[in-house]
Amino acid sequence: MAVEVTVPDPEVQARALALRFRHWDRDNSGFLELSDLKTSARRLGEAFGRPVNAPEQLALEESCRQLWEILARHADVDHNGRISQDEFIAAFTEEVLADPAEFDRVYRILLENVVKAADADGDGKLDLGEYVRLMESWYSAGESDAVAAFAKLDRDADGFLTLEELVRSAMEFYLGESPPLAAFPPSR
Ligand SMILES: [Ca+2]
Ligand SMILES: [Ca+2]
Ligand SMILES: [Ca+2]
């Protein structure tokens, strides 16, 4: 099911994307690399005690690779294996977000695998404890930020985050419609 979107304000969107870029640049190299995404995947697996060859872990790493390939195809214009912040913002603004169906397809796969990897009790959704561990490992988010974000992400206030709630919030984050704290992940 595709998410309905509205045309974003370019400046708000650029600020949202710059924030996301900093979240994803895990080694603070100033560039997004495949290794940044692999670091997030590895830390998530460690936080949930998963062996490196667990099916959930392998699926997560594969979806990170797929996301990287799409990002690189759109953004790595000089083909050096690194995406600068400017390349990242330009690619998202001009290409990925111009085709919400593509964004929805790619990001949904990643989020599906993130939810599976963080769903410790296997009920198909994330409770607060699972979400806090996810945010701490995937984005180095602080616990209080994660708790605050959970309340905003849980739109129907049933105490659980579903894939649909996360996909919708991610979409809104990238389109700059909502403040960063209300999105996946929270701001720092
Ligand atoms: Ca980096
Ligand atoms: Ca769960
Ligand atoms: Ca919910």
pLDDT in tens, 116-125: 999 999 999 9
Measured distance CA(47)–CA(135) in Å, rounded: 10
Highest mean pLDDT among 14-18, 70-74, 92-96, 136-140: 136-140
Q: Mark 132-168 as b/e (b = at least 16 C-beta within 10 Å).
A: bbbbbbbbebeeebbeebbebbbeeeeebbbbebbbb
Residue type, 109: I
CA of 180 to the centre of ligand 2 (A): 24
CA of 103 to the centre of ligand 1 (A): 22
185 upstream amide cis, omega within 30 of 0: yes
In which domain, by residue range, is 58 found?
Answer: 14-176
- Under DSSP, the state recorded for 97 is T
Number of domains the chain contains:
1
Question: Percentage of the chain surpassing pLDDT 70?
Answer: 85
- The answer to which of 6-15, 104-113, 139-148, 174-183 has the lowest mean pLDDT is 174-183
More confident residue, 137 or 13: 137
Asked whether residue 181 is domain-assigned, the answer is: no
Q: Which ligand is nearest to the CA of 30?
A: 1
Q: Do 140 and 24 form a contact (C-beta atoms < 8 A)? A: no
pTM above 0.85, yes or no: no
Asked whether residue 9 is domain-assigned, the answer is: no
Asked whether residue 5 is domain-assigned, the answer is: no
CA of 116 to the centre of ligand 2 (A): 9
CA of 127 to the centre of ligand 3 (A): 9
- Report the pLDDT value the prediction gives residue 171, as an integer from 0 to 100: 76
Asked whether residue 42 is domain-assigned, the answer is: yes
Asked whether residue 51 is domain-assigned, the answer is: yes
Q: Spell out which residues have Cβ within 5 A of ligand 1, the ion.
A: 25, 27, 29, 33, 36
- pLDDT tens per residue, range 47-81: 999 999 999 999 999 999 988 888 888 888 888 89
- Cα distance between the two ends of the chain: 30
- Under DSSP, the state recorded for 123 is S
Asked whether residue 78 is domain-assigned, the answer is: yes
Asked whether residue 188 is domain-assigned, the answer is: no
Asked whether residue 149 is domain-assigned, the answer is: yes
CATH code for the domain in which residue 93 is found: 1.10.238.10
CA of 8 to the centre of ligand 2 (A): 33
Q: What is the pLDDT confidence band of residue 25, given thresholds at 50, 70 and 90? A: very high
CA of 156 to the centre of ligand 3 (A): 5
